[in-house]
Amino acid sequence: MSAQLKDPSLLFSVREKVAVVTGASGAFGALAAQVLATAGARLVLAAGKAAELETAAAECRKLGADVVTVALRPNSEQDCEAIMQAGTEHFGALDILVVGSGLNDVSPIVDMSPERFENVMHGNVTGAWLLCRAFGRRVIEQGRGGKVVLVSSARGKLGHPAGYSAYCASKAATDGLTRALGCEWGKYGITVNAIAPTVFRSPLTAWMFEDNDKARTTRAGMLARIPIGRLGEPADLAGPLLFLASPASDFYTGHILYADGGYTAG
């Protein structure tokens, strides 16, 4: 019997692993950083706003993590290379990439300019592609495998009636990237998967949890499609993240893990 089966907690261990988290000052990125910090990982945190990034880093340091910060968004090949280089220079290696950076721009397609559409695609798809490229180059050379966790959405599978043509397209592309790299990097021992949530509590969605007519109406529409009967909480994403970042998912790659209470099952 393997050591991991004798002690199943080892299946979910990321202790001393080096994890790069982008969008680290955002809702999912900050959550991912804190989950990995609590689990004993060493962190490379990246985000565009330096002050907010340092706040996120301070929270992780309070949890005992060794943290290096890079105040860059994944907007270019140079920025993505710089993020990875900072990690290898500080820690000597990279093990995990969590792409928490991204954006949305809600508009009916007839009112949206091509530039706005391209901005969403760049932020959600091209940036993720560039990060994976920079991470993969280093981790393939290291020769010891690795983990990539992208952030998709239920909207990568389902449409939306309220002006989500750019966002839905970008998340469907994220799903395609996940599957393609899962196939391409299997021979290197690098797993590539995505977490696809529906609405979960964050500063951007806090209004949906309030007790007023607008929030109640919006919630009712969502809950009619969610078998679990509630909206998501940050803790609902912590378990899937740890699974995908740890040895527990070593035979799981190219998949989209829907953390949605059953929303996409119906």
Rounded distance between C-alpha atoms, residue 102 and residue 22, angstroms: 9
The C-alpha angle with vertex 89 and arms to 84 and 95, in degrees rounded to 5, equals: 55
Radius of gyration of the chain (CA): 18
DSSP run (H or E) holding 197 = strand 190-197
Q: Which two structure tokens, joined as six digits, stand for 166? A: 């750019």
| Residue 92 DSSP code | S
Rounded distance between C-alpha atoms, residue 214 and residue 207, angstroms: 9
β-bridge pairing 96-99 and 146-151: parallel
Q: Say if residues 263 and 200 touch (Cβ distance below 8 Å).
A: no
Q: In angstroms, how far is the first alpha carbon of the chain from the final one?
A: 39
* Set 164, 167, 258, 263: catalytic member: 167
Rounded distance between C-alpha atoms, residue 72 and residue 48, angstroms: 5
Look at the alpha carbons of 57, 203, 171, 199 in this order and tell me if their dihedral is positive or negative. positive
Task: Classify each residue of 207-227 as buried b or exposed e, where b means 16 or more C-beta atoms within 10 Å of its C-beta.
Answer: ebeeeeeeeeebbeebeebbe
167 is an active site residue: yes
| Residue 232 DSSP code | B
Catalytic residue numbers? Answer: 167
